[in-house]
């Protein structure tokens, strides 16, 4: 079974730009969660989508948004990028019956200059 895939793997942007990251979950998984990982704050929950609906949300500003498509693929968008948005963005998928058992992708490393 193929794992969680994320594209692109690396991204360099400048302040003020916007960025879209993509995540394809494990086949059959309908829940996709997004996390931001930085050395200072660790792994922080952004939001979770299940069946195209946002089910949980973390404490991030509205510049961070996401969506999920009918095939469970998910995208995350960050608008008006700030230097502090530089981080590893991870997505994780899980099945409906076992949400807590999350399978992570390799992440997208975003650098904001």
Partner 1 sequence: QKEVEQDPGPLSVPEGAIVSLNCTYSNSAFQYFMWYRQYSRKGPELLMYTYSSGNKEDGRFTAQVDKSSKYISLFIRDSQPSDSATYLCAMSMNRDDKIIFGKGTRLHILP
Residues binding partner 1 (CB under 8 A): 4, 33, 35, 41-45, 48, 55-56, 58, 90, 92, 98-107
Compare residues 18 and 107 and give the one whose CB is closer to partner 1: 107
Residue with tokens 């998928």: 93
Compare residues 12 and 43 and give the one whose CB is closer to partner 1: 43
How many CA atoms are closer than 13 Å to the CA of 50, on its beta-carbon side? 11
Residue with tokens 């360099």: 12
Least distance in angstroms from the C-beta of 88 to partner 1: 9
Least distance in angstroms from the C-beta of 10 to partner 1: 11
Cβ count near 30 (within 10 Å):
16
Three-class SS of residue 83?
helix
Find all residues with CB under 8 Å of 101, minimum gap 6, and list them.
94, 95
Compare residues 15 and 55 and give the one whose CB is closer to partner 1: 55
Least distance in angstroms from the C-beta of 16 to partner 1: 28
Rounded CA gap, 51 and 68, in Å? 7
Compare residues 20 and 104 and give the one whose CB is closer to partner 1: 104
Least distance in angstroms from the C-beta of 2 to partner 1: 14
């Amino acid at each position: 079974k193929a794992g969680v895939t994320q594209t692109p793997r690396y991204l360099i942007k400048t302040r003020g730009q916007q960025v879209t990251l993509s995540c394809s979950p494990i086949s059959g998984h309908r829940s996709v969660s997004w996390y931001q990982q930085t050395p200072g704050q660790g792994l922080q929950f952004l939001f979770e989508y299940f069946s195209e609906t946002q089910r949980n949300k973390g404490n991030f500003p509205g510049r961070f948004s996401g969506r999920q498509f009918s095939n469970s693929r998910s995208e995350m968008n960050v608008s008006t990028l700030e230097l502090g948005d530089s981080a590893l963005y991870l997505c994780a998928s899980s099945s409906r019956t076992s949400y807590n058992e999350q399978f992570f992708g390799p992440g997208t490393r975003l650098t904001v200059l």
